[in-house]
Every structure is written in C-alpha cells, then in structure tokens.
A = this chain, B = another copy of it.
C-alpha cells in the first residue's frame, strides 16, 4: 500500500522541477539560488546511485529526471551570471 505513496512522491517531486526549469529556459533565474542547484544536483546524483544499486525503481527514476531538470536550471543560471544579469 505504501508503495503508492512512493510513486505519487516520485511523480510530484520530479514534476515540480518542470515549472522552475521553464522559468529558467525563459531566462528568469534572478532569485534562483546557484548554490541550491549545485548542491541539489550532486545530491540527486547520489540518490540515483543509491537507488539504482538497491533496486528502488521509483527513487531511481525520480532522481534521474530531477538530475536532468536541475542541470537545465543550473545551465541557465550560470549563463545569466556570465552575462552579468544574475549574481
């Protein structure tokens, strides 16, 4: 029964990064924390390693997509910092 919670959780925490990634793609990253997404990206990579090696499918799937989305946000944030738009 509780596995339903993990599937809902995986979908929600993964999907949640989509609206933030969309904002980032549109160049809107001013109040996005650079450090949040650097630390978060390393964290979700670690979660992916743990999940894959323990066969926790939902956790692995969720964190792999989260890694990609965090990577997109980070890319646009760094781009804006280089352009001098963000700090």
- Residue numbers of A with Cβ under 8 A of B are 2-3, 5-6, 8-20, 22-23, 28-40, 42-44, 46-47, 49-50, 53-54, 59
In the complex, residue of chain B having the shortest beta-carbon distance to the beta carbon of A58 = B50
How many copies make up the complex? 2
Contact (Cβ within 8 A) A9 B39: no
In the complex, residue of chain B having the shortest beta-carbon distance to the beta carbon of A35 = B19
Q: A2-B50, A5-B49, A43-B13 are in contact. Are A31 and B37 (CB under 8 A)?
A: no
**A32 / chain B contacts, CB cutoff of 8 Å:** 20, 31-32
Residue in B18, B31, B59 whose beta carbon sits within 8 Å of that of A29 in the complex: B31
User: Complex Cα distance A30/B31, Å?
Assistant: 6
